[in-house]
Structure formats: structure tokens, C-alpha cells
Amino acid sequence: MNRKWKTVIVDDNILKAMDIRKALEWNGLQDIAIVSCQEKLWDAIYAGRENGAEVGLIVTDMHYPLTPGAAPDEEAGFKLMERMEDIVNILKKVQMVFFHIEDNAYFGKKA
């Protein structure tokens, strides 16, 4: 069976997420999903395992909500790393890229 690998971007700032998506597409990646919280990331991971489109790359901000509608959690990226370590046998081939850009810096504003 040919595996289809999917990329998931985790960021609650849709403008940053879209820019990241454009950069990934420009570099040849396809099947890219954008989610705004960690719960939706786990949904994508488990759904992909069931339908043969496993998540192979996660590009994630460090500060974002854990669940839909929640406030951003400054520890979200670290919590993701801890959880990934707990289930490493399930997700052996997932690569992760972590980043954090202050919104003011991203939009060219001075803090």
C-alpha cells in the first residue's frame, strides 16, 4: 500500500498559517491542513492513521489554544512535545518544526 503523507500547520493566527502553507506548497508539499488548536491536530493525526493519509510533518507555533475557543496556552508547544514522546511508537515517522513569532513582529508593528 502506498502511504500518503500529510502536513499539518498548527497556528491560531490564520495569516501566519497561510504564509507558512504558501512556503510549503512552493517547496512541493501537498495535502496541507491548517488547524488552530491542539485538539484539532490530534483529530487529524488519528483520522489520518485510519484513512491512510498519515501526518508526516507538523509545523507548529509554540503558543496556541489547546481546545477550540480556549485562550492561547503559552506552553502548548511544550505540551505537544511531551504528548508526542508518550506515543512515539504510534507516530514514529512524524517530523515536527516548532516556531514562535510575536504577532507584533509578524505584522511589522513595534511592541
Q: Worst-scoring range by mean pLDDT, 16-30, 31-45, 49-63? A: 49-63
Query: Does residue 70 have a pLDDT over 70?
Result: yes
* Angle between the N-to-C axes of helices 38-51 and 76-86, in degrees from 0 to 180, rounded to the nearest 10: 30
Residues 6+ apart with CB under 8 A from 110: 104
pLDDT bucket at 38, cuts 50 / 70 / 90 = very high
Q: Give pLDDT, residue 48.
A: 78
User: Could you tell me the pTM of the whole model?
Assistant: 0.79
Distance CA 94, CA 5 (A): 10
Side-chain half-sphere of 51: how many Cα atoms within 13 Å?
9
Burial class (CB in 10 A: 0-12, 13-18, 19+), 38: buried
